[in-house]
Amino acid sequence: MLSQFQAIGQALFTQGLVSPQGGNLSVKLGEHLVITHRGSALGSIQEGDLVETGICKNNRATPLASTELEVHRCIYKSTSALAVVHAHPPYAVALSFTEKEIVPRDVEGRALLARVPILSAGKEVKAAKLAERIARLLSECRVVLVRGHGSFAASQLLEEAYYYTVVLEQSCRLLYLLKALQVNPGVTTV
């Protein structure tokens, strides 16, 4: 399991989808979950960076878990997901300020994501306040964005949730470029 966390954390970091101490990963193990440590560097995860705690109850390790623990718990309680990736993809976060949802225009994005809802926590960006809404939407969509904060992707495998995060960011890069070029992505010209 450690090698999975290391590979995904390193990939997120090298692709610029998380800052040095940003983002978090988790996997569900029965009534428990393993989540990255509060403030751990996803680009260089070590064994001490993984925290095992209950999905429904706390234990001694709980205070060490990521600050997004409540969101991960809610996702596992409300969906069939076995893995969650929370990242801060810059193009997706930038578009979260101007859009109500992300509708990919590229073929891969449309095929995998169809649409990505954007939730707002008001003036204060606290994903935990939106945990139930994030979980509910993740039962319908593969990825959800929190305005000005980041994305939550859920799947059966950590690698899949990572892949959905990458596809979201690639789709958002294209949307951003189309907006900058003032091209209507819904209209094709020949």
Asked whether residue 188 is domain-assigned, the answer is no
Q: Which helix (H) or strand (E) holds 137?
A: helix 131-138
What does the pLDDT average to over 14-32? Answer: 95
Question: Using 50, 70 and 90 to split pLDDT, how confident is the model at 60?
Answer: very high
Instruction: Look at the alpha carbons of 35, 74, 81, 55 in this order and tell me if their dihedral is positive or negative.
Output: positive
DSSP-assigned letter for residue 187: -
Asked whether residue 186 is domain-assigned, the answer is no
The domain containing residue 29 runs over which residues?
2-180
Could you tell me what percent of the chain has a pLDDT over 70? 93
Please state whether the predicted TM-score (pTM) of the whole model is above 0.85. yes
Radius of gyration of the chain (CA): 16
> Among 26-35, 112-121, 122-131, 142-151, where is mean pLDDT lowest?
122-131
Higher pLDDT, 74 or 124: 74
Could you tell me what percent of the chain has a pLDDT over 90? 86
Asked whether residue 89 is domain-assigned, the answer is yes
Asked whether residue 189 is domain-assigned, the answer is no
Asked whether residue 190 is domain-assigned, the answer is no
Domain tally for the chain? 1
| Strands across the sheet containing 150-155 | 50-54, 32-36, 24-29, 83-87, 150-155, 143-146, 116-119, 101-102
Asked whether residue 15 is domain-assigned, the answer is yes
Higher pLDDT, 127 or 166: 166
Asked whether residue 98 is domain-assigned, the answer is yes
Asked whether residue 25 is domain-assigned, the answer is yes
Taking the C-alpha atoms of residue 81 and residue 68, their distance in angstroms, rounded to an integer, is: 16
CATH number of the domain within which 46 lies: 3.40.225.10
Output the pLDDT for position 185: 60
